[in-house]
Structure 1
Amino acid sequence: MSTRPTGKPEEVEEQRFRDAVRGLPARVWIVSGGILVNRIGNFLPVFIVLYLTGSGYSAGAAGLVLGASGVGNVLGNAVGGYLADRIGRRWTIVLSAVTTSGLTALVPFLGPFPAILTVVGLIGVTSQIYRPAAAAVLLDSVEATNQQRLAAFGVFRFAMNVGAALGGVIGGVLASTSYVGLFLVNAAACLLFGLVVAVLLREPPHQKSGRAETDAKSEGATGYRQAFADRTLVRFLVMTVFAEFVYIQSTVGLPLHVNDVGLSARDFGYLIGFNGLLVLTLELPITGAVARYRPEYVLAVGNLIVGIGLALTGFMTSMGMLAAMVFVWTFGEMVTSSISQAYLGSLAPPDMVGRYQGLHGVAYTMGTGAGPLIGGAVYAFGPWALWSLVAVVGVLSAQLSLPPRRKAPAVAQPDP
């Protein structure tokens, strides 16, 4: 990675990032606090399979429900990106939270399988609508500098990770007591998230006027068609699909390998817990450390580290060796996590921030959705094939992170 030519000492750059975190505007803390509450109570995606199988449905039926939810996730990000630019960030988040709350409260009272399939599929849509809008709020609220964007997304990611960690513990306790209570608490958390945003968050004046100008133009001029005409964006989206395909193998190939080498499900839980602990304690400082480097190179190095770390998993046969590999690919994860969306924010025109973030969500869910299907099938063919595929795709994701080479201008030949 090459540093920017600032001429500033390293300590000054790091201090700038800490100052950027402390100086974040209230809107960033409001959305981050709301997402903390939402993630603590986000039980349905984690426990829906256990709920269904415990209710007498087959594993195949549970898989079908997960598939419907995954398709809904893709649609939800696309819809959310459109709404964030069209009706505003605040009301998009509120719409997502309130509708998800109502649908989630219905789940434990649904009887026929088609009803469960439909409602959970709809939850897949509504639960993702807020994501592009929340990212757009962060970008709207800070100055257009790498430090400011990274600080905002770093705090937001930290809130998400804390919420997910607490939610797993609380959800396990509730699930052992009552699934009705589990889903009702989930619904309450979604509703509280919506109330926090509705009461405390305000749209900035420049965004309102910008949206009015956008509405006066033809919608096609600022729609997804224009976004796909941006070659840099398309390259970034393909990179995201590849990178997420690689990363999701930590929940597909890794547990399969753990089982093959004679370790237990508890051992796998320890490895994933180690990953979570590293992210909670080190991600924000690492985000500050990489903030002074060019984003494209940071993404490339991070994606390469994740790919190498996971590919080497196939050679590890003990808990110590596997833990070392978890440290490696988790480090790559922490390097890329916040900078990905912050960098995307620098690519988006002011009136298309929501759509750009929505397309990022689509690419993310496509990668995480295809990863288990393809990864499981390739592992069944041969573990070596999966780890080789992970290495190749990891290298491709790193290469796609780099800025494309510009062709040298042709030199005019003199006339004879």
Structure 2
Amino acid sequence: MSAEPRFRDAVRHLPARVWLVSAGILVNRAGNFLPIFIVLYVTVTHHSPWMSGLVLGVAGLGNVLGNAVGGHLADHLGRRWTMTLSGLATAALTACIPLAGPLVVLVVLVGLVGVASQLYRPAAAALLVDGLDHRQRLAAAGVFRFAMNIGAAIGGVVGGVLATVSYEWMFYSNALAALVFAVVTAVFVHDPAAYADAKADADATPQEAGGYRVALADRRLRRFLAMTFVAEAVYIQSSVGLPLHVTASGLTPANFGFLIGLNGLLVLVFELPITAAVSRRRPEYVLAVGNLLTGVGLALTVFAGSMVWLGATVVLWTAGEMLYASMAAAYMGGLAPAHLVGRYQGLYGATITAGNGLGPIIGGVVYAASTNVFWALVAVAGIWSAQLCLPPLRRRSPQPPVEELRPAQEVP
């Protein structure tokens, strides 16, 4: 262990493509206003609230499909050109939204933007793992998430200002950010040698290349995806159960905004140091602890009636988020054979968006029926997701070195 490089050294020696993709995603997320403000836009254009839900639902389905298609393209078309295509298509479609007249046109456009805006995701994730070992993948995931979180924070503020001035200019600015992302990837990002070698090997032996069917035959992947869905459905309750509880406790929307701001601040300041601190730990156990803290932390909200105690629960489930997020991305990167990295990442991204989409629906229905059952279900689901992180008891073994955690079938 003493001979292993420190986490900060892994960050310092990351390939240039990691920094370029992270810079591109910062710009992309900073200008990605549509998911945040589309409900308000539909409302101010005199459509009923249920239509806002329809638009969000179509966008969510588009996100799932975009990840699946993007995973296929990332393996066949390449990481660079899949990301470029995603940026160009997103820019063109988003710029058309202010021109949409009938609601059906708007719904179709938003659905297509949902697909196009997610095509890049498996390709970007693949670039962060191609040819890297576990420590480097973890460092790359930490840097990428840091850039993404900064971009999201900037985007919320800038989008609010632009929406106040003009929704049209907000969408045009969104399109411009996507275009900049496309240009950055087309000009500066190149597919790594590891991808080219894996693709050449797959083309030489097409009968072994496989696709999504081969990926889904991997039992470890299926278990990881099940864990991911449950974990994401639990975490998204911070946007469902938490605001409802805040209102029921007699607090204001500003109080909820403060709690979400606390979450964002903690992630920006502490996620990278926490990721560094656990970088030598066995990933399955880190993921399990992270999911346990998230589920239990959110469930304890039911006992919190003041801002002090609510803030304490936010610290708890945010700690779980910070333990889980980068480690999950790095561990996922080690599951895939080199020629199927894009497909594995496509399934991973689709599962995340499915959990984020179905979680609020399930949570809203259960909360309306019984708040106590809702918070109990959050706790149980958090414990379940933690259990899914661990290998079955019959297959557990003493902790191996980190690099031995890579699957045996992975192409070196």
Tell whether 2:345 aligns with 1:357: yes
Q: State how many pairs are aligned.
A: 396
Q: Which stretches of structure 1, 4 residues or more, deviate above 4 A after TM superposition?
A: none
Q: 1:155 aligns with which of 132, 143, 147?
A: 143
Q: What is the match of residue 248 of structure 2? A: 260
Query: Aligned runs of 1:166-185 on 2, under 5 Å?
Result: 166-185=154-173
Q: What is the match of residue 293 of structure 1? A: 281
Letter in 1 for 2:228: T
Q: What is the match of residue 3 of structure 1? A: none
Tell whether 2:123 aligns with 1:143: no
| Cα distance change, pair 203–221 in 1 and its aligned pair in 2 (3 A) | closer
Q: 1:80 aligns with which of 38, 63, 70?
A: 70
| Cα distance change, pair 259–219 in 1 and its aligned pair in 2 (3 A) | farther
Tell whether 2:86 aligns with 1:96: yes
- Structure with the greater alpha carbon radius of gyration: 1
User: Share of identical aligned residues, percent?
Assistant: 60
Q: What is the match of residue 104 of structure 2? A: 114
Q: What is the match of residue 194 of structure 1? A: 182
User: In structure 2, the residue corresponding to 1:347 is in which secondary structure?
Assistant: coil
Query: Aligned runs of 1:325-364 on 2, under 5 Å?
Result: 325-364=313-352
Q: 1:208 aligns with which of 196, 200, 205?
A: 196
Tell whether 2:32 aligns with 1:42: yes
Q: 1:226 aligns with which of 202, 214, 217?
A: 214
1:48-78 Cα deviation digits (max 9, x unpaired): 0001101101110011000000001111111
Q: Is the 8 A contact 1:341 1:357 kept in 2?
A: no
Q: Give, in whole Å, the separation in 1 of the partners of 2:77 and 2:207.
A: 13
1:245-290 Cα deviation digits (max 9, x unpaired): 1000000000000000100001000000000000010111111011
Q: Give, in whole Å, the separation in 2 of the partners of 1:396 and 1:318.
A: 29
Query: Aligned runs of 1:124-135 on 2, under 5 Å?
Result: 124-135=114-125
1:350-405 Cα deviation digits (max 9, x unpaired): 00111111111111111111111010000000110110100111010000000122
Q: Is the 8 A contact 2:142 2:272 kept in 1?
A: yes
1:133-156 Cα deviation digits (max 9, x unpaired): 00100111x532x22111101000
Q: 1:23 aligns with which of 6, 13, 22?
A: 13
**Please, which runs of 5 or more residues in structure 2 have no aligned partner?**
397-412
Q: TM-score, normalised on structure 1? A: 0.93
User: In structure 2, the residue corresponding to 1:139 is in which secondary structure?
Assistant: coil
Q: Give, in whole Å, the separation in 2 of the partners of 1:247 and 1:149.
A: 23
Tell whether 2:367 aligns with 1:379: yes
Q: 1:281 aligns with which of 228, 251, 269?
A: 269
Letter in 1 for 2:340: M
Q: Give, in whole Å, the separation in 2 of the partners of 1:363 and 1:203.
A: 25
Q: Give, in whole Å, the separation in 2 of the partners of 1:360 and 1:205.
A: 23
Letter in 1 for 2:11: V
Letter in 2 for 1:399: Q
Q: TM-score, normalised on structure 2? A: 0.94
Letter in 1 for 2:335: L
Q: CA deviation at 1:24?
A: 1.0
Query: Aligned runs of 1:8-19 on 2, under 5 Å?
Result: 8=2, 16-19=6-9
Q: Give, in whole Å, the separation in 1 of the partners of 2:242 and 2:395.
A: 41
Q: CA deviation at 1:219?
A: 6.7
Q: Give, in whole Å, the separation in 1 of the partners of 2:299 and 2:35.
A: 27
Letter in 1 for 2:50: G
Q: Give, in whole Å, the separation in 2 of the partners of 1:266 and 1:393.
A: 29
Q: Is the 8 A contact 1:246 1:371 kept in 2?
A: yes
Q: CA deviation at 1:341?
A: 1.1
Q: What is the root-mean-square deviation in Å for CA atoms of aligned residues?
A: 1.4
Q: Give, in whole Å, the separation in 2 of the partners of 1:345 and 1:27.
A: 16
| Cα distance change, pair 237–384 in 1 and its aligned pair in 2 (3 A) | same
**Please, which runs of 5 or more residues in structure 1 have no aligned partner?**
1-5, 409-416
